[in-house]
Amino acid sequence: MMGVREHFKGRDLLSLHDFTPEEINTILDLAAGLKDGQKKGKPCSCLAGKTLGMIFQKSSTRTRVSFEVGMYQLGGYALYLNAADLQLGRGETIADTARVLSRYLDGIMIRTYAQSDVEELARYADIPVINGLTDLEHPCQILADLLTIREHKGGLAGLKLAYVGDGNNVCHSLLFGCAKTGMHMSVASPPGYQPRAEIVEKAKTDAAATGSRIEIATDPVEAVRDADVVVTDVWASMGQEREQDVRRKIFAPYQVNEELVRHARPDFIFLHCLPAHRGEEVSAQIIDGPHSVVWDEAENRLHAQKAVLALVMG
**Residues annotated as catalytic (active site), given as ranges:** 111, 138, 141, 233, 273, 301
171 labeled binding residue:
no
123 labeled binding residue:
no
Cα–Cα distance between 134 and 254 in angstroms, integer?
24
62 labeled binding residue:
yes
15 labeled binding residue:
no
Q: 155: helix, coil or strand?
A: coil
CA dihedral in degrees (37, 140, 68, 237; nearest 10)?
A: -140
Cα–Cα distance between 33 and 179 in angstroms, integer?
24
271 labeled binding residue:
no
Q: How far is CA 26 from CA 143, 203, 210, in A?
A: 11, 20, 16
Cα–Cα distance between 28 and 16 in angstroms, integer?
13
139 labeled binding residue:
yes
233 labeled binding residue:
yes
Cα–Cα distance between 172 and 194 in angstroms, integer?
10
38 labeled binding residue:
no
140 labeled binding residue:
yes
Q: Are 96 and 77 in contact (CB under 8 A)?
A: no
How many residues are listed for the chain in this entry?
314
Q: Are 95 and 118 in contact (CB under 8 A)?
A: no
Report H helices in the chain: 2-8, 21-39, 62-73, 94-104, 115-124, 139-153, 169-181, 197-210, 220-224, 244-251, 258-261, 284-287, 294-313
20 labeled binding residue:
no
87 labeled binding residue:
yes
Name the binding residues for carbamoyl phosphate: 60-63, 87, 111, 138-141, 273-274, 301
The annotated binding site for L-ornithine is made up of 169, 233, 237-238
Extract the annotated binding site: 60-63, 87, 111, 138-141, 169, 233, 237-238, 273-274, 301
